[in-house]
Structure 1
């Protein structure tokens, strides 16, 4: 059993094992984010980061789409006179919460993902895509540049030439190519992305929590830190993990199996 909580444009599904699903519920616009939905998603991601009962988060969309980006028509006449202000207030805190929280975030992707919706996918720790899912960084089609950290993620993962191709030509990137490029972890049969994401989330929930959080922290830090700084952080985190009951219990279990 799980508890459903409905807010503006967003459904929260809490499972007893600590899995939290955040579901975008604006299928009529392919789950494009208006201000209310962006606020709800931001606030609930930040709350999940601070909630010790949450062990893993799945982010997905309702109705055969993940997220078509920002609903530009809904932002006309808002209080933010500059797009940078809307980014700083609504989107960047949510994306930072995904990357900084000490628990895994999995994007379960069916159908199209465009605009800043791609940034939420890129910020996630794992990505599961249905066979017909695709990404489109269509910012340039309306005379804008990618935002929400998409440029950083793409150039770090793909290098300049491939990142430039995907952003300057803005092709549709199908699930198979996302897998080949390393933008997705799994491609599964149609309509199976959410269930596969739940299976992976529950595997992660069963891992030692401190070691899992430290692993995420290390990998996020290593993307920008030097080798020597990363090795120093590894040592500090290793010491902290060694003090956890999980370490002693699992070592004893391993030794027992060997004997």
Structure 2
């Protein structure tokens, strides 16, 4: 798949056409989130976010799982409260980066997305999952609560009572269950990354500047009073009406052809 650049073997980055790939590469550890892995995924997201040629980003895992959660050995090595707080802040930064990146991010999940692995999948904009994938809320099994933003992300998708039941029972969701509850967008019967690439087609063909603001508005709509939401929409729409992409969209409509958006 194109030219791969390894970052100390923990993360692989690839740009294939207008899609950027970030592959977590700790297969022997089922891509459990160590400090180094988290930092390198964040750096990779930043790198692809600044690449104007990239319109969508796919996050996946090498080996038998997407991500088995936090690295237990790394967590056990933390010696005091200050180190623990620093680690949680670093790990949470990955979810924040996924949510705040201006470009759409698709989590391509196979095997397990367990614990913090489920958290980062939910922090992506879309989830495409293998039909055999499992989403495990395994925090309660080790006496913890969900972190990396999972409680808010999950409760935005299912009712509070369902979220509490799943979290406190250590629920393991199949792809079919997750899809039925609106947690994932697509189920793949073949290569989950290839399915994610197919899913990304509407993003790649679409107006990237418009997608950027759709992501921002949808992610923050719950924080806004209705009048503030109207005001934000109106201001952004006024700006978009002046873009080349809008003019191209109108021209394509009138000429009965497919629009060729440039993100300007």
Shorter-chain TM-score category? over 0.9
When normalised by structure 1's length, the TM-score is: 0.92
How far the C-alpha of 1:188 sits from its partner, in A, is 1.6
Residue 77 of structure 1 corresponds to 77
Counterparts of 1:121 and 1:44, CA distance in 2 = 16
Residue 240 of structure 2 corresponds to 241
SS at match of 2:183: coil
Unaligned runs of 5+ in 1: none
How far the C-alpha of 1:105 sits from its partner, in A, is 0.1
Answering whether residue 230 of structure 2 is matched by residue 231 of structure 1, we say: yes
1:200-248 residue CA offsets vs partner (Å, 9 max, x unmatched): 2233111011111111111112132222211211111111111111111
Counterparts of 1:198 and 1:242, CA distance in 2 = 29
Residue 213 of structure 1 corresponds to 212
Count of equivalent residues: 255
How far the C-alpha of 1:78 sits from its partner, in A, is 4.4
Residue 167 of structure 1 corresponds to 167
Question: What RMSD over aligned residues (CA atoms) do the two structures have, in Å?
Answer: 1.7
* Contact 2:35–2:91 (Cα < 8 Å) also in 1: no
Residue 14 of structure 2 corresponds to 13
1:31-53 residue CA offsets vs partner (Å, 9 max, x unmatched): 11122111111222233333333
* Contact 1:35–1:75 (Cα < 8 Å) also in 2: no
Unaligned runs of 5+ in 2: 258-264
Counterparts of 1:246 and 1:80, CA distance in 2 = 52
Counterparts of 1:240 and 1:200, CA distance in 2 = 28
* Contact 1:42–1:91 (Cα < 8 Å) also in 2: no
* Contact 1:43–1:94 (Cα < 8 Å) also in 2: no
* Contact 2:66–2:109 (Cα < 8 Å) also in 1: yes
SS at match of 1:108: strand
How far the C-alpha of 1:21 sits from its partner, in A, is 0.6
Counterparts of 1:79 and 1:99, CA distance in 2 = 30
How far the C-alpha of 1:80 sits from its partner, in A, is 6.6
1:72-151 equivalence runs, <5 A: 72-78=72-78, 81=81, 82-88=83-89, 90-151=90-151
* Contact 1:45–1:94 (Cα < 8 Å) also in 2: no
Counterparts of 1:46 and 1:80, CA distance in 2 = 30
When normalised by structure 2's length, the TM-score is: 0.91
